[in-house]
Every structure is written in C-alpha cells, then in structure tokens.
Structure 1
Amino acid sequence: MTADMESAPPALCRLQLGTELRRLRLESGHKAGAVAKRLLWSPSKITRLEKGENAIVELTDVMALCAVYGADAETRSTLEGYAVVTKTRRDWWQSPKFRPVIRPSLKAFIGQEATAERLHTYQPEFVPGLLQCEPYVRAIHQATIMGLDEDDMDLLVTVRMTRQEVLRRPNSPLKLTAVVNEAVLRREVGGADVTRQQLGYMIDMARLPNVRLQVVPFKAGLHPAMNGQFTILTFRNDAGLKPLLYMEKLADAWVLREDHTVARYHDAFDELQAVAASPRESLRMIDQAIKEL
C-alpha cells in the first residue's frame, strides 16, 4: 500500500475503487448483470461497489472482479490496497453512534463531501450547512424534524458541526463557494439572538481563504436557480471522479451524475455568481442585516 493511500480517507478509497472497477468492466466488455451471474452475486452488489456505497469492501470481491476483467498485476495491487483501507479504517460518519440519525442518502453525500476538492452550493432558504453555527443547526432541526428526542438532537448537531472540518483539513481544505438568497439573511431562525450569532458566524467563515460567499439581493429579480437549492461537488483530477450534482427536498435527496445535467447546473451557478453581490458587498449586506436585528 502506498503512503498516499495510507493517508487517504476511506471514503475517497471507496470512490476511487468503484470508479476503477467500473472502468475495468467497461473496457473488458462485460455487462454488470453477466458479471453478477458469473460470480453468483446480485446485480445490485455490482452497482454498490461501482458507486462506492459499501462502507467495507471485501478483498476477495475485488480479487474476483479483477480476475474476471483480466486486470494486470499493478492494477490488482492498487485496487486491493483500496479494499484494505476500507477494512482497516472507518470514516467518522460510519460510527455506530450516528447510525440512528444519518439516513443513507446523507451518509453517501457526507462521504462525497469529505473527498471533494470543490463544493459549489446555492441555498435560497437556509444558511449552507458548512456555514451554520451550532444554535442555528439546533433551531432548524427543532423546526423541521418532529418528535426528535434530546439525544438524537445532540447527535445531529454533532454531525453537522463535524462536517465543517473539511474546510480546515490539513494540506487540502475544501474550496467552498456558497451563494445564498437575501431571504437567508432576513429570515429569523431560533429568534433574533440566534440569527445574529449565525450571521456573524457566516462573516467569520467567509474570511477563510478557501471560502467564497455571495448573496443574491432581492433587487436582482429572476435568476437561474428559482427552482431551488443545489450543490455541485468536484473532485481532484487524479481521483478519476466526475463532478456530481446533489439535490435535496423535504422527504428525499438524490445524486445526479449525467454530464449534461451537471454542466447545466454549473452554467446556472456561474450565472448566479454574476447576478449576486460581490463577496465584499455580500459581507456588507450581512453586516447590515445584523444591525437591523
């Protein structure tokens, strides 16, 4: 196992392993269903492996797929190394204590967020999760999740705040570009005191060199994201992973990977940045909202 692999987060190893397994299958001309039938697996097992959805990947599964695809010795060694990482190290969100409060779609997104190089997000109603302070997180969950007991509330808050570590990770912090609607600044969440604290926290976070924050003012009128929030994740070139689009609604969330769809949202995000206030003017708008509270 290489030194780079030893220091890589398990989530990244799973994603890279899945990407390579899919590449090998396609290059060798095999269909997923035929491979599953040959190995006496369910077709969904192939899908989960190729999407990096399994928390742990069995070394024997990787060896079997490499044999079917005719992978060379160097490739087999690399992919087996990825599998070993998933067996010997665990990402923080895979801890059993978080299992009751992290739904599968969110767990998958956290894994992708933790391995991304860049994250572009538009939020029309809430402060983006990576820029939320603890009291704001608590107020949102109290308002949107009915019947949540105090222990689960504390776990959800811990999950949200721990996710923010990607903005301060050593060597390669996540580069975040967030665009929010002016309504985010004006909507009181948890009362005036909590809202003031949250707006001040946004200003502090926006001063990080890897964070860019812009506000779309009401006076901008119609814009390309009137249909709602979205997030685009982009990965390192050497990760071999395509950008993906994450969208979340009240009762569901999903990931889209089609090139033309992701490109369309990239274009929309560029247009949003063009109509939004500059980062400096956006901070002035946030400061003004604090004063008006």
Structure 2
Amino acid sequence: MASIVNPTVRRRRLGQELRKLRELKGMTAEEVADRLLVSQSKISRLENGRRSISQRDVRDLCGVYEVEDHRIVDSLMQMAKESRQQGWWHAFGDIPYSVYIGLETDAASLRVYEPQVVPGLLQTPAYAEAVIAGALPEAAATDIERRVQVRIRRQERITNPRHPLRLWAVLDEAALRRTVGGPQVMAQQLEHLRELSQQPHITIQVMPFTMGAHPGVNGQYAILEFPDASDSTVIYLEGLTSDLYLEKGSDVQSYSVMYEHLRAQALNPDQTREFVEDVAKAYARA
C-alpha cells in the first residue's frame, strides 16, 4: 500500500516547481548557482529530484526568483518538509534502488519488459531469493534476506484491493526457460505467474524465441506513470552500480512506441497462459 506521503515523489514535484520558477525568471542553473555560491550540479540535482531539498534551499531559491506570493512559498516549504520524511523502504536500511521503489510505490501504472528473469513484482519468495543470490554471489545471507523482504513488501502494490497497480509485463521466453532455483522453484513460480495473469489489473505476455529479433533486444526497462498529471512519466533503466531515469518527452515517446511494438509481437494474454502452463508442467515432470 502506498504511503500517505511519498518523499521520492514530493522531491520530484518540488524540483519541477522550482525549475518552473527559474525558467519564468529567465535564469540558467549556472546563474542561480553563482547567486547562491553553490555548484551548478546542486541546482540540477534539486530540480530533478535526486537530492533532498531543505526548507532553507527553498527559501533561498524563492528569494533569488523574487517569489512574493507567501502562499506559494509556504506550499513549497511544506513540500520540502515532506520530502525529507522517510518512506517505508528506509526501515530496511540502505537499498541501492530506493529511488525506484519510491516511484513504484506512488505509480498508477507500470509497463515493464524483462528479458532474463521474472519481474520482481511477480516473483515468489523462493524464486526471488535464488535470483538475488545468483546476481550477488558475494552478498551475505542477511543482505539477501533483507532484499527478499523488500521485494515481497513491494508486491503489496499489486495486491492492494482498493488501489492496485496496473501492471503490464512482457517477458522474453528466456525468463521462463532459465532454471532459477531448480525445477521445483520454477514450477511454483510459473504457476504463480499464471494465477496472477488472471487478475484484471495484471497483463502478462511472453515474447517467444521464434519471434527472433525484436524491439526489446537492447535490454530491460520500465515505464512508470502517475495518477497526478503534474508528475511526468519516468523511464527506468536498471544498472549494476547505478540506475538511469529518463523523463524527457522524446525519450518517453521512444520507449513507449517501442513497448507498443513489443506488446504487438508477443503472444497474447490467453496464449501466454497456455505457454506458461506448458513450461510449468515440464518443470514439474523434471
């Protein structure tokens, strides 16, 4: 279930408002940095929501932009205060993809393409543990357990009966054929996948090997959309040591069009359920 105040989303909204004020003033980020005696990179990080914004930062920026409406200043100051609160994921310690979790927690819909493994929101605990342990061979058992707990906690977004996340997932056939955790774990995982695909807010499609080259060969990505129209759509690209978040309109358009091609070329949801069931039976026999 989404938290009442999501600090990640608050930072993004506040950054967008501050950018608008700067642009209305006709100033560059470099000019603002010179006025405040800070680095230009700090101004950029404040505006893109990647850095925590203090109320002092807001006060100083509003002074530079000559904002005279106290209601606007008070509103931005309140957003700054809320942006420094902690989301539910902070209770699990240092999570490397915490920015993504914050966005996912507040998203209204998620479109994801996965070429190698079942998406995290659709994983069973046993499968999640095997994936994480395999991807992080030097991680301690306690760290693996913590990451599994976070993954299971994230899944409340698709099980929330009142406001479930609208999830559309396209998986490459390789994600089903890759034996993660052994045949029994895979049989259980694929049965779980088939059951979830029957939920009205979850759509799952498989891209079969027979399709050959397709628009997803460049790798995994996710498209997050939000209920508030003021929040721009985000493209998420996961990396080993750092992640990439794209919000520029042209980037969003390119990835959205590519996703439509993926959906058109993949097996339809009914064909996918039959395909997944056949692969699950093969694992069960094994």
C-alpha contact 2:8 2:99 (8 A) present in aligned 1 = no
| Counterpart among 80, 84, 92 of residue 88 in structure 2 | 92
Tell me how far apart the structure 1 counterparts of residues 98 and 206 of structure 2 sit (CA, whole Å).
28
C-alpha contact 1:11 1:114 (8 A) present in aligned 2 = no
SS at match of 1:7: coil
Alignment match, 2:64: 68
Tell me how far apart the structure 1 counterparts of residues 50 and 135 of structure 2 sit (CA, whole Å).
27
SS at match of 2:217: coil
Q: How does 1:170-249 map to 2 (within 5 A)?
A: 171-238=162-229, 240-249=230-239
Alignment match, 1:33: 30
Tell me how far apart the structure 2 counterparts of residues 181 and 228 of structure 1 sit (CA, whole Å).
10
Letter in 1 for 2:238: E
Question: Please, which moves more after superposition, 162-171 or 30-39?
Answer: 162-171
Alignment match, 1:3: none
Counterparts in 2 of 1:164 and 1:289: CA distance versus 1, 3 Å: same
Tell me how far apart the structure 2 counterparts of residues 27 and 41 of structure 1 sit (CA, whole Å).
21
Tell me how far apart the structure 2 counterparts of residues 37 and 125 of structure 1 sit (CA, whole Å).
47
Percent identity, aligned pairs only?
Answer: 36
Tell me how far apart the structure 1 counterparts of residues 55 and 116 of structure 2 sit (CA, whole Å).
44
Q: CA deviation at 1:193?
A: 0.8
Q: Mark the runs of 5 or more structure 2 residues left unpaired by the alignment.
A: none
Tell me how far apart the structure 1 counterparts of residues 163 and 20 of structure 2 sit (CA, whole Å).
27
Alignment match, 1:263: 253
Using structure 1 for the length normalisation, give the TM-score. Answer: 0.88
Using structure 2 for the length normalisation, give the TM-score. Answer: 0.90
Q: How does 1:118-157 map to 2 (within 5 A)?
A: 118-157=109-148
Q: How does 1:2-17 map to 2 (within 5 A)?
A: 7-17=4-14
Q: CA deviation at 1:204?
A: 2.7
Q: CA deviation at 1:250?
A: 4.3
Tell me how far apart the structure 1 counterparts of residues 249 and 49 of structure 2 sit (CA, whole Å).
19
Q: Mark the runs of 5 or more structure 1 residues left unpaired by the alignment.
A: 1-5
Runs of 4+ in 1 over 3 A off after TM superposition: 168-172, 249-252
Equivalenced residue count is 280
Letter in 2 for 1:259: G
Tell me how far apart the structure 2 counterparts of residues 140 and 254 of structure 1 sit (CA, whole Å).
22
| Counterpart among 55, 59, 65 of residue 55 in structure 2 | 59
Alignment match, 1:83: 80
Alignment match, 1:24: 21
| Residue 163 in structure 1 maps to residue 154 in structure 2 | yes
SS at match of 2:155: helix
Q: CA deviation at 1:249?
A: 4.0
CA RMSD of aligned residues (A): 1.9
C-alpha contact 2:121 2:151 (8 A) present in aligned 1 = yes
Counterparts in 2 of 1:7 and 1:160: CA distance versus 1, 3 Å: closer
Deviation by residue 1:19-63 (Cα, 9 ceiling, x = unmatched):
111111111112112212212223222222212223x43212112
Tell me how far apart the structure 1 counterparts of residues 256 and 282 of structure 2 sit (CA, whole Å).
34
